[in-house]
Amino acid sequence: MVDAADAAEVTAGRVERGGRVAEGLRAYRLIVAMWIRSTMAYRTSFVLTTLGNFATTALDFVAIVLMFSRVDALGGYALGEVAFLYGLTSVSFGLADLAIGSMDRLGRRVRDGTLDTLLVRPAPVLAQVAADRFGLRRLGRVTQGALVLGYALATVDIDWTPAKLLLMPVMLVSGAGIFGAVFVAAAAFQFVAQDASEVSNAFTYGGTTLLQYPPTVFARELVRGVTFVVPLAFVNWLPASYVLERPYPLDLPSWVAFAPPAVAVACCALAGLAWRAGLRSYRSTGS
């Protein structure tokens, strides 16, 4: 039985955690606004870099289109279906990259000691690192992915139901949450490795490239890894199988198509624990 003192302590803890979250969001919003103002001071440069980001990411889909000029299907998937996977992944990853893509700079800060300047500021370190050098130009990736997704929706003959319509925005938001958790967990690893940006890129940028192709073209061991170890398959492979009415990878039950929100919450919670553990293990360079 919980007495009044224990209940009050639990309530106080929840209020304190809620306050830290609110403080972190406020700090993130202020830093992002600062970088956006800085970016908009040079509008021509912003437009050119955004268009460059758009064109660079578009080359990935151009390569897929060229591939389909030689084949009719890839792993049993037609061009429109691959475009559907590509669009979902690009938008989800693009949103996460836009919001906290700066996390991959943490290793550099740990090595040169500039992380110390963030520790003494009256704002959560995670919010500061995530918002650091906020790149509004990354909207180019989101826009390009949205255009490909729109093309796929106009091309693929999908038997729309209320569940499928509801699943579309859920996939995008949950996918962004899963990728965001991977960004944070990879950044936490850099507290230990200090020079592991390429390792983190393998799971972030490498993961989004992997998900742009059907699961049927990969070995079952790899599909198991991105389903049960690093659950990137919940970004699009599993829910997209329901929308496209395709067989589920690894013969999983149909209900897994609706699991992305729960997976995203679990991934974010684990990433948060990893971040706290990494931050506690940090030792200043003394510079």
- Three-class secondary structure assignment of the chain: CCCHHHHHHHHHHHHHHHHHHHHHHHHHHHHHHHHHHHHHCCHHHHHHHHHHHHHHHHHHHHHHHHHHCCCCCECCECHHHHHHHHHHHHHHHHHHHHHHHHHHHHHHHHHHCCHHHHHCCCCCHHHHHHHCCCCHHHHHHHHHHHHHHHHHHHHCCCCCCHHHHHHHHHHHHHHHHHHHHHHHHHHHHHHHHCCCHHHHHHHCHHHHHHHCCCHHHCCHHHHHHHHHHCCHHHCCHHHHHHHHCCCCHHHCCHHHHHCHHHHHHHHHHHHHHHHHHHHHHCCCCCC
pLDDT at 130 over 70: yes
Question: Mind listing the pLDDT tens digit for each residue in 25-41?
Answer: 899 999 999 999 988 88
Question: Mind listing the pLDDT tens digit for each residue in 141-175?
Answer: 999 999 999 999 999 999 999 999 999 999 999 99
**What does pLDDT average to over the chain?**
88
This prediction has a pTM of 0.89
- pLDDT at position 198, please? 73
Question: Mind listing the pLDDT tens digit for each residue in 181-191?
Answer: 999 998 888 88
Question: Mind listing the pLDDT tens digit for each residue in 240-264?
Answer: 999 999 999 999 999 999 999 999 9
- pLDDT at position 261, please? 96
